[in-house]
Structure 1
Amino acid sequence: MIGLARLAAVILVVVMAACAPRLVPPGPPIAAPALNHDHILTADGIQLPIRRWLPDREPTAVVLALHGFNDYSNAFAGPGGYLAERGIAVYAYDQRGFGEAPNRGLWPGTRGLASDVGAAVRLLAARHPGKPIYLLGESMGGAVAMVASTGPASPPVDGIILSAPAVWGRSTMNVFERSALWLFSRTVPWMVVSGRGLKITPSDNMEMLRALSRDPLVIKETRIDTIHGLVDLMDAAAAAAARLSVPALVLYGERDEIVPPRATYAMLGRLPEPGAAQRVAIYPRGYHMLMRDLQAEVVLTDVVSWIENGTAPLPSGADRRAATVLADILGGAAPKPTWEHGGGLPRVAGPAVSE
């Protein structure tokens, strides 16, 4: 019996090793990074499609925008146009594994995503010498911005804007969520799941959500091992909060149904200087996709104001709302989520909805 038990254990280990999560990291450097008209050429020779929204005059600042999970650079069409009209140049590229970038649907690794940010920032600094450069990350893009800004080769930016950053790491998941992720990523990592059927509202902008559901470049079904990689990234981002020294504006909506309040507030509690170098804005009517919600202009006006003067009060008053909320929560009161969250796999924080 002992022999059979050992044999079964060996077989289980072999099977689980064969089903390990798939990772497609960057390859060895073979080229000099370059900013071309329609793509960024990376050091390992792949092309990341890029979009840009430029003002009709010399820009006052430059923003590198990083899209969220399962989305792509076109996510910033609205925000990019808004900022460009106010003199701010905006660039956004399809991150590895998303949009029209190579290896669509496969996870490139946290380090690979962060290294691309550093290369892109340096290319933009060369294209716009002397101009302040900011990172703007939505959801997963916010997590990438946090990791990139706190790593050993952090890019030279003047500030980062984190819109509903994806910081739902394992420390703020319950045991059922962690266990399900561990089990499925090691037994059926190739299996795909979707958000269809989940009663989640990522935004109150239904027209925008329907357009995303029809967009073929938005990923609708996600591999389990890609979700596993996303959670690894969120772990790293949550841990990076304590090392965040660059000026930051953190945006969060109280109606966010993608990133749980407990995860966001835990991250905010780790910031070294909330209210000083790091500013927080909380929007009572805001959902996860703040910059594409129906009240997007309120949020974008705050973003422009912060870029122009990082110490001035925000026009919307969302910074004052944040001060009140955080004083209660970080002062000892428990956060009070406005929505229920069940067990199982972490929610796929993609933007697609069924029509």
Structure 2
Amino acid sequence: MIHPVGEKNNIAQLTANLYKTADGASLPLHQWLPKAGDTKAVLVALHGFNDYGQFFDQPGKYLIRQGIACFAYDQRGFGGAPKRGLWAGVSTYIDDLRGMVQLLKQRYPHQPIYLLGESMGGAVIITALSQIPMPGIEGIILVAPALWARQTMPWYQTSLLWTLAHTFPWLTLTGKGIRVQASDNIEMLRALGKDPMVIKKTRVEAIYGLTNLMDAAFSNAGQLHGNTLILYGENDEIIPKKPTYDFLQRFLSVAGDKKTVAFYQQGYHMLLRDLNASIIWKDIVSWMRHDTAKLPSGADLRASEILTPIS
């Protein structure tokens, strides 16, 4: 079940702490801004499933020291956004992203704009840019993008998901008993576990919606254009290697644009918040600035070593 937007009868706008959309929704807005006159670039960061805009706090504080203004809003159904726990639909998440980009273009007409998406946020960006070009985007950064499509899942998993979504869409799942590690930053994970803004009980219909989004993102590997940086942790236990590697091979097989893939041997799913996250932050800044042909960490060379034998 999808809980879409209402009529677009309003003028979208940004306030100090809200992104007010054209349909009247108020999405909590998190901002990390350099000193006046120091902004060299603008970055829109989209959070992952069950997370919210504050996920970007640490990298945001680092990036503003590099002259990069950062904006992250709570996507519908997450954090403090309306209809918490409910899935708004792929087209709605894409429309909200496009609206945010348009507002930031008006505010920063002379600065390049970048998009960054973590996990689900990455899937939203992939799907958005694969459908209709978004003019004015200098580049996109995908951090552990959610690419676990149905065609890469075992049949019993997809069958159970379909059955639950069409019979008990309101049923909530906690993930209790599932032993996966999202990061090596245990203190951060414990804080998330206590954070009331992070969703702990997930409706089946939301999981079904996320899977639809991952299907769309996975199938659009060949349609993703523009300067792109994709980051993946080799210890990622949330998004499996097989669908990720499959997507990357198809993505890299299409010529054109600047494409960089980086694999981090010590990295987990929450790369931006891992214990070694500063390495990733530095790579992102270097890539945005076009400082060198290779990333400072060498993670792009590591990815090339792993992906080449697979092709």
Moved more, 151-160 or 225-234: 151-160
For 1:321, the equivalent position in structure 2 comes to 302
Q: 1 CA distance for matches of 2:228 and 2:3?
A: 30
Using the TM superposition, name which of 187-196 and 220-229 deviates more: 187-196
- 2:260 is matched with 279
Q: Return the alpha-carbon distance in structure 2 between the equivalents of residues 188 and 311 of structure 1.
A: 52
CA–CA separation in structure 2 for the residues paired with 1:205 and 1:214? 15
Which of residues 252, 276, 281 is equivalent to 1:300?
A: 281
Is 1:203–2:171 an aligned residue pair? no
Tell whether the 8 Å contact from 2:27 to 2:76 is kept in structure 1 after alignment. Answer: yes
- Residue 190 (str. 1) matches residue 156 (str. 2): no
Alignment partner, residue 52 of structure 1:
31
**TM-score w.r.t. length of structure 1:** 0.85
Aligned-partner Cα distance in 2 for 1:205–1:80: 18
CA contact (8 A) 2:112 2:136 kept: no
Superimposed CA distance per residue, residues 163-196 of structure 1 (whole angstroms, 9 cap, x where no aligned partner): 0000111111111111111111111111100122
Q: Does 1:98 align with 2:78?
A: yes
Deviations 1:257-299 (A, max 9, x none): 0000011111112215479522100001100000000010011
- Residue matched to 2:118: 138
C-alpha distance in structure 2 between counterparts of 1:276 and 1:294, whole Å: 32
Deviation of 1:155 (Å): 5.2
Distance 1:275 1:126 in 2: 29
The aligned length equals: 309
Alpha-carbon deviation of 1:308? 0.3
- Identity, % of aligned pairs? 50
Corresponding residue number in structure 2 for 1:164? 144
Matched position secondary structure for 1:158: strand
Aligned counterpart, 1:33: 12
Aligned-pair CA distance for 1:301: 0.5
- Once residues 33 and 40 of structure 1 are traced to their aligned partners in structure 2, the CA distance between those partners, rounded to angstroms, is 8
| Deviation by residue 1:68-100 (Cα, 9 ceiling, x = unmatched) | 000000000001111111111100000010000
Unaligned runs of at least 5 residues, structure 1: 1-21, 332-355
Larger radius of gyration: 1
2 CA distance for matches of 1:297 and 1:63? 17
Q: Give how far 1:151 is off.
A: 1.8
Letter in 1 for 2:42: V
Q: String of CA shifts for 1:50-80, please: whole Å, max 9, x gaps.
A: 0100112421110000000000000000011
Please name the residue that 2:100 is paired with. Answer: 120
Structure 2 residues not aligned, in runs of 5+ = none
Q: Which residue of 2 aligns with 1:87?
A: 67
Cα deviation, 1:97-134, whole Å, max 9, x if unaligned, reads 00000000000000000110001011011111110000
SS where residue 137 of structure 2 aligns? Answer: coil
> Do the aligned partners of 1:122 and 1:156 also contact (CA within 8 Å) in 2?
no
Say whether the 8 Å CA contact 1:121–1:155 is kept in structure 2.
Answer: no
TM-score after normalising by structure 2: 0.96
